[in-house]
Amino acid sequence: MRDDELDVTDVHQRARTGPVPEDRAIDAAVDSAYRRARDRHDGAVADYIPVLAGADPDAFGLCVADVDGGLHEAGQTRVPFSIQSISKAFAYALLCEAVGHHEVRELVGVNSTGLAFNSVIAIEMNDGHPMNPMVNAGAIATTALLPGGSPDGQWRFLHEGLSRFAGHELILDDEVYRSESGTNQRNQAIAALLHSYGRMRTDPAEAVDVYTRQCSLRVDARDLAVMGATLADGGVNPLTGDQVVSADVCRDTLAVMAASGLYQTSGEWLFEIGLPGKSGVAGGLVTVAPGKVGIGAYAPRLDAAGNSVRGQVATAYLARSLGLNIFASASHFHREDTP
């Protein structure tokens, strides 16, 4: 989204390298971001997964979780929805913790495809390599590599890990799981193609089933903010104090999110917002300001790339008003100090 589409051109871009402002300032920024974004009615609810088409198009929740455990909320932050592709970032973090930096980089990759999240062409163009864990091919390959010894064991490992990120047990949405299982032929084809190139060590159908369950876990905007804040604070959940993954894993995960987290518009997102983020087609969006906060948004109307319209507008406002952009800095040159 361009600056005019985000409607934040009148928001002062603060350059800040220190901590986020005090709680009252965050609360005020969240309220302003929510009020600004709720007037956006463009975009469309995803319908290629039948159950997602029934979402309330006007639902909207926004939450900021700071690394000290503070929660700052506006709107419908407790409305549940399926995590969908946002799970990719956290499954990748769990794999990096279990397997290690170098092997995951070799097997899954870190480079953006520049193509749609479910592209088959991207696989063929890269000799069967999944390229990165934020597109479906890389996410399925990531899930297939998880420890556990069996599909059920991998699911237990994944379910427990994602729940630790959220700070409580996440529930599988059976209706979403059934709906996705009946319409995931493209993911099955992607997995079969990866298997044909020797890029997948397990049964492709079983890997897709675990991946489908992963995407069907139920979260809300508050959960996403806490999960993002866990990545922001070196892998420590700000509510439970649980060390979910290491700080090195957080660094690797955030780097991949920054490069590929919003599909083919990831470059525009990083240019405008300047933060690692990950979207999901149910309308969720998680954004991370390292060392500071996690931002969780839920609004089902999506742009053409599959990213929440209101979520992007609200996050852009917060990034600018709170000085979160990781590329922003203030000059330390003071003319009066010169001879």
Bind-site residues for substrate: 85, 136, 180, 187, 211, 263, 281
Question: Does residue 311 contact residue 279 with C-beta atoms inside 8 Å?
Answer: yes
82 is catalytic: no
Structure tokens at 60: 């909207």
Residue of 88, 104, 226, 288 marked active site: 88
Per the structure block, which two tokens stand in for 178?
């059934």
Tell me, yes or no, if 197 is annotated catalytic: no
249 is catalytic: no
How far is Cα 291 from Cα 230, in angstroms, rounded to an integer?
A: 10
What does the chain come to in residues?
339
Among residues 113, 64, 145, the alpha carbon closest in space to that of 315 is found at: 64
Single-letter code of the amino acid located at 33: A
Binding region: 85, 136, 180, 187, 211, 263, 281
Looking at 211, 244, 278, 308, which residue is catalytic?
Answer: 211
Query: 177 catalytic, yes or no?
Result: no
Signed CA dihedral, 251, 249, 212, 311: sign only: negative
DSSP codes joined into one string, 42-103: -SB---SSGGGGGS-TT--EEEEEETTS-EEEEESTT--EE-GGGHHHHHHHHHHHHH-HHH
Query: Pick the catalytic residue: 11, 51, 85, 219?
Result: 85
Q: For residue 281, indicate whether it is catalytic.
A: yes
Q: Which residues of 113-132 are buried (b: 16+ CB within 10 A; e: fewer)?
A: bebbbbbeebbeeeebbbbb
Q: What is the set of active-site residues?
A: 85, 88, 211, 263, 281
